[in-house]
A = this chain, B = another copy of it.
Amino acid sequence: MTLEWKGALMNRRDFTQAAGLATLGLLASTAQSSAQTPTAEAKAPRFAMLVHPGMVMLDLVGPQTVFALTMGQVHLAWKSMTPVGTDIGVNVMPTTTFANCPRDVDVLFVPGGLGGTTALLNDDETLAFLRDVGGRARYVTGVCTGTLLLGAAGLLKGVHATSHWYTRDLLPVFGAIPAGGRVVEDGNVITAGGVTAGIDFGLAISARLRGETWAKITQLVLEYDPQPPFQAGNPTTAGNEITQSILKLRATALEAARTAATRAAARLSR
């Protein structure tokens, strides 16, 4: 098992990626490893992650951290190479455009962010990209409100899926079947709940692509042994008062999402 993991590490040829992993401490020497034959490289998973203005940074970074530790190639795709803003004010630079992003990837991934997602639900360019890459990807995935974009692209018809808890009831608009569960797998479609669900999701993907032992090594590297100080992570444990306060604060944004989703669904069925 150590050898399996190390073997893949030693055969990396993507220097940028390897430098990042060296930083995390997983590679003792990047330069040394580059001389090896690329046996495992051929198996390196490829990820196309949509990045979009208004996305929630943690929606992206949780899965991306796990994806990077599969020793995979991670592409951050947007319409252009201009930085996209996120909820926490940190800008993310795309690494590729829709036009240049590899078409045959193992994983298509869409992060959420309520405002950002709503703005793209009827955006032809984004939906065409998702439809094209998603139609060929080994796994079609998304977390949080990002799964609405998969729906708008027509990728969730008749599929069990989830979303952020406050947008899950919009999924049927796109013909999807809302499902309970933090990570929902239906065929090659894997979706997850809001924001932090991306970490649980990422580990599930890691296990699919690299095996359970690899996923467990990743989990221990990230010390993912969660111990929330409170029990308020879903509407049931949080209780009605806290849940309603969020629904009230987001009423306008949720209404806008519903309007945009309904319009997108009408376009889909034309």
Contacts and interface: CB of A to CB of B under 8 A. Distances in A.
Interface of A: 1-2, 5-6, 9, 16-17, 19-29, 54, 56-58, 61-62, 64-65, 68, 74, 76, 85-93, 95, 113-116, 144, 164-165, 182-183, 193-197, 199-200, 203-204, 207, 212-213, 215-217, 219-230, 232-235, 237-238, 241-246, 248-254
B74 A61 contact: no
Classify the interface of chain A: helix, strand, loop or mixed. helix
A22 B223 contact: no
A253 B215 contact: no
Given A87-B65, A223-B164, A229 B241 contact: no
B88 A64 contact: yes
A248 B113 contact: no
A220 B235 contact: yes
Nearest to A90: B92
Give the oligomeric copy count.
Answer: 2
B234 A212 contact: no
Given A57-B64, A65-B88, A195-B222, 19 more contacts: A9-B249, A19-B85, A20-B88, A22-B115, A23-B114, A26-B250, A68-B87, A74-B88, A144-B223, A197-B223, A200-B226, A200-B229, A216-B232, A216-B238, A220-B232, A223-B233, A226-B226, A226-B228, A226-B233
Given A61-B58, A230-B215, A196 B193 contact: no
A58 to B, nearest CB: 5
Nearest to A165: B223
Given A20-B88, A74-B88, A253 B222 contact: no
A205 B28 CA distance: 35
Contacts of A68: 87-89
